[in-house]
Chain A
C-alpha cells in the first residue's frame, strides 16, 4: 500500500476527471461527484500523513517503474516531508476550489469539474515526481487545464489574459526543457535521486527562469495581474495558492538541490530580485484599486519572501519557506474565494464601489477579518512564524535583507488593513445593496475549514517546521554541498 500511496494521490483526481468527463452527469451532479473525489483525495492524503515517518529526511512512499529506458527516464514518484505538506496544501485547496465552483454553479459543468480535478492531479504529480522528465510532464500538464479554465470561464478580458499567461509560461518551461535535456544527458539519467549535482550555470538559469516565471518573481510577473483578475475566483485561488508553490518547490528540489554551486553564485542576484519583488509587490498591492489586485500583487510579494527564505540556503530559511508556502497557500485561497463571494454579491471588486459590507453581515465580516489578520501576519499567527523564520534565515547573509524584509511586512499590514476596511468598513458602497446576503452556510462550510487549518498552524507551526526535512536526506545533502562550495 505504502508504495502505491503517491501514485494513488496523483491518479485519483485524474480518474475522477475522466469519470466526470465521460459520464453524462447533470450540472449539479458533476459538481457533487467532483467535490466527492476531491474530498476522497484529502482523506487519502490524511492516510499518507498518518503513515509518514517524519524522523527521516529520506524519500518515502517511493515507487519506480521503467518508462523510457532508452533515455534513462522512469516513472519515479515519492515524497519528502515538505512535499507531503505541499501535496496536502494542493489537495485541500483543490477540494475548497472544487466545492466553491460547485456552489457557484459553473456552466459546462462536466468539462469544468474534470479540468479542475485534472489540474489537482497534475499539481500533486509535480510535487511527487522524482524524475526530471516526469516532473516536466506534470509541470506542463498543469498548463493544459489552466489555459481552458481561464480562457473559457474567465472574465471579459480572458483572451488577452490567457495569451499572456501562456506565452510567459511556455517560454519559461521550454527553457527548462532545454536545461533538463542537457542535464539529463550529461548525467546519463533523468532520475533526480541518482543524478549528481552540476556546476553548470546556464542549466541553473534555465531552471531558475522557468520557476521565476511560474512563481512569479520580479521581473517575470507580467502575466500575473491579468491572469489573477480574469480567472474565475477558484482558479485564481489555485493559481496563486498552489501553482505558484510548484515553482518554489522547483527552486528547492531542483535549482538548489542539484545546482549548489550556481545557486551559491547567483544567490545575491536572486535575493536582490526577491527583495525587490517583495517590496514592489507589496507597494502595488497597497495601491491596487480592487480586491483581486491586492491579492495578486501581495502574492508577488509573498513569493518574493518565500524565495528569500529558500535562497537563504540554511535550515531556518527552508523551514520558514515551507511553512510560509503552506500559509500563503491557505490564505490566498481563502482570500480569492472570499473575493469571489463578495463579487457575486456586488458584481464588482472595485474598492471605489465597495464598502460597508460588515453591517448586517457578521459572518462575512468575521471571516474576512480573520483571514486579513492572518495575511498581515499578526504576531502569534502562522504567517508571522513563517516570516520570522525566513527573515532570521536570511539575516545570516546580511542584516540588510532582513531589514528590507521587515519593512515589507509593514507594507503587508498596510495593504491587508486597506483591503479589510475598503470592503467591510467606510460608507456603504454604491455596488453594495442591502439585499446582498451574508455568507451562506455552504460558503462557510468551504471557508471555515481553511481558517481552522490556519488557526491550527498558528498554534502549532512546528507541525510543519519540525516535520519537513527530518534527519539526513535531502537537506543534509544540500547543506553539505553548500559548505563544500563555500570553501
Chain B
C-alpha cells in the first residue's frame, strides 16, 4: 500500500490547463478537418495559455505564505506564481505571433500541442522544489522545444537547429543530472530545503555537485560559456519558437537558478556568487562583442539575449532580496521586448520570404510605421533607455550589485551597455535611416504586416515595455512579494 500524498490541485492548475490543452490539440490535429485545423488549434492553444495565466494570477494572489506541497515536490508561493504568470503570458503572445506563420498544414496541430506542452513543462519547472522535479521539468520543456525547433522539416536551418539544441541540451541536462546525483550523495536529500538543512561542512562532493547544477542551468539560461547553441538555434528555429524560447525559457531557467541557489545552497553562497558573477561577465563580454559582428538580425538578437542573461545573472549573483526583486522585475520588460522584437522579425521575414538581415531591414520603419516604431522601442528597451522598463531594470540590477558591495560590476555593466548601443542602434539605423529604395527590395507575398494577430501581440509587448517604465512601482511590489518567498 503506497501512501498517497495530498495533492493541491489548485497549485497544479496552470500546468494541468496547459498539458490538458496539449492532449486536446493532438486530437484536433487528427480529427479536425484540414480547413478549420489552424484557427481551431490556435484558439485552443491561446485559450490554454490564457487559462494558465488566470490560474497563475489567482495562485499568486492566494499564496502569500509559501509552502512546499504534494509531498514536497513543488513549491506553492509567489516566486513560482509570478514566474508562471510571465511564462503563460509569453505563451499567449507566442501563439499570436505563430498564427500567421506559414506552417505546413499537417503540422499545425502538433505545433500548438508542442507549444502548450513546452509551456506546461516550464510552468512545472519553475515550481520545482526538489532535484527530481527540477530535472523532470527541465526535460519536459526541453524535449518539447527540441521538436519545435526542428518542426519546419523543409528548412535545413530548422533541422540543424533542432539537432544542435538536442545534443547540447542533452549535455546540459546530463550535467545537471550528474550534479544532482552528487548533491544527493553529499547530503542524502533531494528537497531544496533539506539540502540546505543537511549541509554543514564543505564537502568536495557537494561543491562539485553545485558547480554542475549551475552549469546545467546555465545551458538553459544561455549564459556564456554555455551559450554556443544559442545563435545557431535562435537563427534556425522558426521565429515564433525563437521568440518563445528567448522569453519563456529564460524566465524559467533564471527563476529556478535563483531559487535553487538561494534555497538549497545558502551555506555555499560565497562560492556561487563569485561563480555567477564570472559567468555573467563572460556573458556580457561574449554576447556584446559577438553581437557587433552579426548581420543576421535573429543571430544578433540571440547574442543580445546572451548579454541580457549576463545582466540578470548579476541580479542573482548579488544574493540579496533587492537582487531577487530586480531579477523578477527585469524579466517583465525583458520578456516583452524579446517577444516583440522577434515578432517584428517574423513579420519582416514573412514579408520578404528571406532571413532578415540588417541590410534588408532598410526602410522598414517607414514602410511599416507601427512595427518599426515598436522595434525601435524594443531596441531602446534592450539598451536600457528611458520610456521603457529596460531602463529601470538595469538601474535596479545595478542597485542590487551595489548593495552587495560590488560597485565594479556596475562599471562592467555600464561598459557592456555602451558596446551594446552600437548594435541595437544599428537595427534602428537600418530601419529608419536608410531607404528601402536604396536596396531595391521587393516585398513578396502580399501584405502580411496587416496580420492582426501579430500586431496585437506586438502591441501587447509594447504596452508592457512602456508601461513597466511608468507603472514601475506596482510591478516592483509584485516582485517584492515574490522575492519574500526566497529565504534571504
Contacts and interface: CB of A to CB of B under 8 A. Distances in A.
Interface size class of A (residues with CB under 8 A): 20 to 34
B414 A152 contact: no
Contacts of A144: 380, 385, 387
A214 B403 CA distance: 30
A152 B411 contact: no
Interface stretch (A173-181, A332-340, A461-469): A173-181
Contact of A182 (B385, B407, B432, B480): B407
Interface in A168-222: 170-171, 174-175, 177-178, 181-182, 185
Nearest to B407: A182
A296 to B, nearest CB: 22
Interface stretch (B228-236, B257-265, B393-401, B442-450): B393-401
Nearest to A75: B470
Contacts of A152: 432-433
Contacts, number: 79
Interface stretch (B118-126, B164-172, B304-312, B418-426): B418-426
Contacts of B414: 174-175, 177-178
Given A144-B385, A182-B410, A185-B403, A151 B473 contact: no
B43 to A, nearest CB: 31
Nearest to B426: A163
B429 A162 contact: yes
B374 to A, nearest CB: 13
B386 A70 contact: no
B403 A71 contact: no
Contacts of A4: none
B396 A71 contact: yes
Most chain A CB within a 10 A radius of its CB, from B366, B392, B399, B433: B433
B398 A181 contact: yes
B140 interface: no
Contacts of A182: 402, 407, 410
Interface in B404-460: 407, 410-411, 414, 417-418, 421-422, 425, 428-429, 432-433
A141 B418 CA distance: 16
B156 interface: no
A281 to B, nearest CB: 26
A166 B395 contact: no
A342 B309 CA distance: 52
B392 A185 contact: no
Q: Name the prevailing secondary structure of the B interface residues.
A: helix
A234 B207 CA distance: 63
B421 A166 contact: yes
Contacts of B421: 166-167, 170
Interface in B277-299: none
Nearest to B422: A167
Nearest to B479: A70
B325 interface: yes
A282 to B, nearest CB: 32
A227 to B, nearest CB: 14
A67 B473 contact: yes
A137 interface: yes
A68 B473 contact: yes
A177 B425 CA distance: 19
Most chain B CB within a 10 A radius of its CB, from A67, A158, A174, A175: A174
A181 B399 contact: yes
B391 interface: yes
Interface string A126-149: 000000010011101101100110
B472 A181 contact: no
A353 interface: no
A137 B380 CA distance: 12
A141 B380 CA distance: 10
Nearest to A138: B386
B459 to A, nearest CB: 14
A143 B433 CA distance: 15
Contacts of B410: 178, 181-182
Nearest to A186: B402
Contacts of A148: 428, 432-433
B476 interface: yes
Contacts of B418: 167, 170-171, 174
A166 B424 CA distance: 12
A181 B325 CA distance: 17
A222 to B, nearest CB: 15
B281 to A, nearest CB: 16
Contact of B473 (A70, A158, A162): A70
Nearest to B398: A181
A-B pairs with lowest CB-CB distance, top 4: A137-B386, A151-B433, A170-B421, A174-B414
Interface of A: 66-71, 108, 133, 136-138, 140-141, 143-144, 147-148, 151-152, 158-159, 162, 166-167, 170-171, 174-175, 177-178, 181-182, 185
24 contacts: A66-B473, A67-B473, A68-B392, A68-B473, A70-B325, A70-B396, A70-B476, A71-B395, A71-B396, A137-B387, A141-B385, A143-B385, A144-B380, A147-B425, A151-B429, A152-B433, A159-B433, A170-B418, A174-B418, A175-B414, A177-B395, A181-B399, A181-B402, A181-B410
